[in-house]
Amino acid sequence: IGFVAKLLYEAIEEIDAVQVEAVSATGASKAQIMDYAVVPQILPAFAGITVFRWDINIRESTVLGLVGAGGLGLRLQESLNVLAWPQVTLIFILILITVLVSEWVSAKVRHAII
């Protein structure tokens, strides 16, 4: 949450102040200024940050599982401990497919935003 909040804060800092001034010059309230001047400018950045963080979380989940946090990484560690190479291969293939699907979804979302 902190990572997303920091990047979102930076996106808010970089918005075009001219649009905010134009909306406020029409007599809009603070909520209307947020709705019509700020949010449309930061929405693409927010979507991009969210997809980026989702992609990172998928990759980190495997590493965390290797150290005992659970999930697919834990199954991989257990299979490595007993030298069950067919299971290790299958788990690596599942991890690869998961990463490829997440990359594909991430690319589609980024392409739709830009």
User: Domain containing 32: what range?
Assistant: 2-113
Q: By the 8 A CB rule, do 76 and 88 touch?
A: yes
Assign residue 109 the CATH number of its domain. 1.10.3720.10
pLDDT digits (tens, 9 = 90+) for 13-50: 999 999 999 999 999 999 999 999 999 999 888 888 88
What's the domain count of the chain? 1
Whole-angstrom distance, CA of residue 35 vs CA of residue 41: 10
pLDDT digits (tens, 9 = 90+) for 57-109: 887 887 787 777 777 778 888 888 898 899 989 988 988 898 888 888 878 87
What is the pTM for the complete model shown? 0.66
Maximal CA-CA distance, the chain: 70
